[in-house]
Amino acid sequence: MMTFFVTHSVFHQHLRRLTLAGFVMFVAAMPVALTSPTLANASEDVVEAMGEYLMFQDYLSGVIRPEQIDQSIFEAVVFIDTRTSDQFEAGSIPGALHIEWREVIERIDEIPQDQKTILFCNTGVLSAQAVFALRVAGFENVLVLQGGYQGWQENAAYKP
């Protein structure tokens, strides 16, 4: 139990050092960081914070299935469609905001922190990346819709 406390404390220290600008720089530099030892070392704190974040997550942490979204949940959450503009305009979950998955950090001020927020794409793959980025940035209220928009269309417990 003491090991968990120390490790958990270290995790939070790294998260406090993880600034939004540092995280954005890390994500933008990822392709270069793979080949540049200088950039890889510069983002060591970010990489460590991400790794420690993952160590404390449950298997289904940050995931919600369409079958779980009944009327009470539907009415209590914010939905963010992370697909392209064309896909969003062709059809989306009613009331969803539109922020493409690559823009979530850039538009982080538009994402509520005081309300459960469900991000989705077509299948859940790209929105999972957006949720991971937001969770590492300190958003504990964000979830990815497993199966994405397609899953919601086929299996949602509630559709208005």
| CATH number, domain 63-155 | 3.40.250.10
pLDDT at 31 (0 to 100): 42
* pTM over the 0.75 mark: no
Question: Looking at residue 42, what is its pLDDT?
Answer: 47
Contact (CB, 8 A) for 145 and 151: yes
Position with higher pLDDT, 1 vs 38? 38
Query: How far is Cα of residue 105 from the mean position of the Cα atoms in its chain?
Result: 10
**109 vs 45, higher pLDDT:** 109
Say which residues have a Cβ less than 8 Å from residue 158's Cβ, sequence separation at least 6. Answer: 69, 70, 71, 73, 74
Q: Where are the domains of the chain?
A: 2-55, 63-155
Mean pLDDT of 103-117: 95
Residue with tokens 């950039």: 39
Beta bridge partners of 118: 79, 143
